[in-house]
Structure 1
Amino acid sequence: MKLVKVFSGLALTASVLLLTACGSGQKEDTSLKDIQDKGTLTVAMNPEFAPFEFKALVNGKDTIVGADVEIANAIGKELGVKVKFSSMSFNNVLASLQSGKADIAISGISATKERAKVYDFSESYYESVNVVIVKKSDLSKYTSTADFENASVATQKGTIQEAVAKDQLKGAKVVSLVQNGEMINELKSSQVDAVVFEKPIAEAYVAKNDDLAIAEVKLESSDSDAYAVAMPKGSTALKEKIDKVIKELKDSGKIDQFVQDAYDLSVSGAE
């Protein structure tokens, strides 16, 4: 009987140790607490996506503005913290989350299945439509995706548009560049034949360049064309708060207003 009790006690101890070991292997979610404790929300973005994020003179000071900026500020208000914007190239925006240099990334980021394996994403806040910009004099030349065979098409490195151009503009030579302004300059100087952009961004560039136009070419959209806020993997508590903010902004129509106001500002001469 004593032997049975000894073995029972050992088994119970082993079970407790096993449960403790399993529990200790689960990382505690401090995504929300960490931000609130430091009092600052660091947001990674590439301010070259008017009307979502771009630079403009505000009270004589070079400032990052746009629809995504307004969304980030609303998130900061909900969390009760200050918002700090960290400007960088688009292909570094998501990487900054992994390195710990930013708490969230909001920069017209499409929540693809591949990206979701590495990052957490909020509910979508804007549905993206992709278009092709060409020279106005070439509008009649490019009326279907097939017309881009052997054409040189610029896209921004690391973006969904890079994949869209490769998948849908069959036979085109895709040139991946880092800066949006560089892509537009390459088009205007005939170094490339076309540029693939999200529609609001394309409209802003066309409005400021009389020699450019949006081609009447239909590009297919997918679920991955929806914009969302990116976070480090495992940010459950933070995602819950951000989703709450996005739902409120969408339901009230404020996000659409943010985009319209930023578009108006972007075409008024602001850089």
Structure 2
Amino acid sequence: MKNSIKASVLIIMLLAACVFLSGCTTETPTATPTAEPTATAEPAGFTTLIPGVLSVATEAHYPPFENINTTTNDFEGFDIDLMNEIAKELGLEVQYTDHAFDTIITAVQAKKFDCAISAFTITGERQKMIDFTDWYYESKGQVISVKADDDSIKTAEDLVGKKVAVQLGTVGEMVTRNITGINQGDIQSYASMGEAFMALKKGEVVAVIGDHPVSYPYIKKYPGDYKFVDTPMSEVEYFGIVVNKDNPGLTAAINDAIAKIKADGRYDVMYDKWFAQ
């Protein structure tokens, strides 16, 4: 009997110990692996040809919008300052390429560049091929520049039968080719406005037709050589940045950046820097 009682007590004690131990024991947690961070080169919504880099084409011989500094070899100008600020807003580095103006749009179409900035006038014909951002510059339009001592050219009609210089692929060239009665063979197309004005100085042409803000520096710097004809060639024009139609997210992102740059005063600072007269 005594042995039975001892055995019963022992069993009870063992059971109690099991209950106590089971109550204090916790399950070993299962380790959840930490997901590797996903590297994002650009903000969501658009892509660039080179991760983290905005590849930009420009015809860098069109001051004051774009030019190459002969001392530093750096790209400079109003368009360049603006694009640098846009790239900052997008969190991207910017890489410029000096490219022939008349082939820039097709190069963006072919996805050789993410976008292009080069004083491009927004036109319906161009919009069939690429997208434009919101306008960032309002131009007085196309103007006629002649030699300072030439009073024979008053209007576009006075150019009929005479040789005229334009920059290849520009709206200035389009407007000139549409002058009623003009001989298409008399229109001399040059790779840059600098070459066009040099042709005027040499007497190879009687006039240069181009954007007012691009022609103005030549008039201002060489008042004894050139002057404007009073009658403009076209109405006010608006410049936009060229983007491939397959990348609407980039167009939207640039539009947001332009709006911020205009709103916080940076645009006005750049404008005064390059266009203060």
Fold agreement, TM-score > 0.5: yes
Matched ranges for 1:65-144 at <5 A: 65-128=76-139, 129-138=141-150, 140-144=151-155
Q: 1:106 to 1:255 in 2, by over 3 A?
A: same
Q: Give runs of ≥4 in structure 1 deviating > 3 Å.
A: 30-33, 250-257
Q: Percent identity?
A: 28
SS at match of 2:121: coil
Aligned residues: 231
Q: 1:31 to 1:99 in 2, by over 3 A?
A: farther
2:78 is aligned with 1:64: no
Q: SS at 1:187's partner residue?
A: helix
- Structure 2 gaps of 5+ residues are 1-42
Larger displacement relative to structure 2 (246-255 or 67-76):
246-255
8 Å CA contact retained: 1:125, 1:255: no
CA shift, 1:145, in A, is 2.1
Q: Which of 67, 71, 76 is the aligned partner of 1:54?
A: 67
User: 2:28 matched to which residue of 1?
Assistant: none
**TM-score of the superposed pair, with normalisation by structure 1:** 0.78
Change in 2 beyond 3 A, CA 1:89/1:37: closer
CA distance in 1, matches of 2:191, 2:49: 33
> Are residue 197 (structure 1) and residue 210 (structure 2) matched?
yes
Q: Is the contact between residue 206 and residue 213 of structure 1 (CA under 8 Å) also seen in structure 2?
A: yes
Identify the match of residue 188 of structure 1 among 183, 191, 201: 201
Letter in 2 for 1:243: N
Most deviating of 186-195 and 174-183: 174-183
Alpha-carbon distance, 1:113 to partner: 1.0
Correspondence for 1:39: 52
RMSD, aligned α-carbons? 2.3
| Deviation per residue, 1:70-92 (Å, 9 max, x gap) | 11111111110100111111012
Q: Normalising by the residue count of structure 2, what TM-score does the alignment of the two structures yield?
A: 0.76
Name the CA shift for 1:232/1:36 in 2 (closer, same or farther; >3 Å): closer
Q: Rg larger in 1 or in 2?
A: 2
Relative contact order (C-alpha < 8 Å, sep 6+): which is higher? 1
2:171–2:210 contact (8 Å) kept in structure 1 = no
Once the two structures are TM-superposed, the CA of residue 31 in structure 1 deviates from its matched residue by 9.2
Conserved 8 A contact 1:51-1:259: no
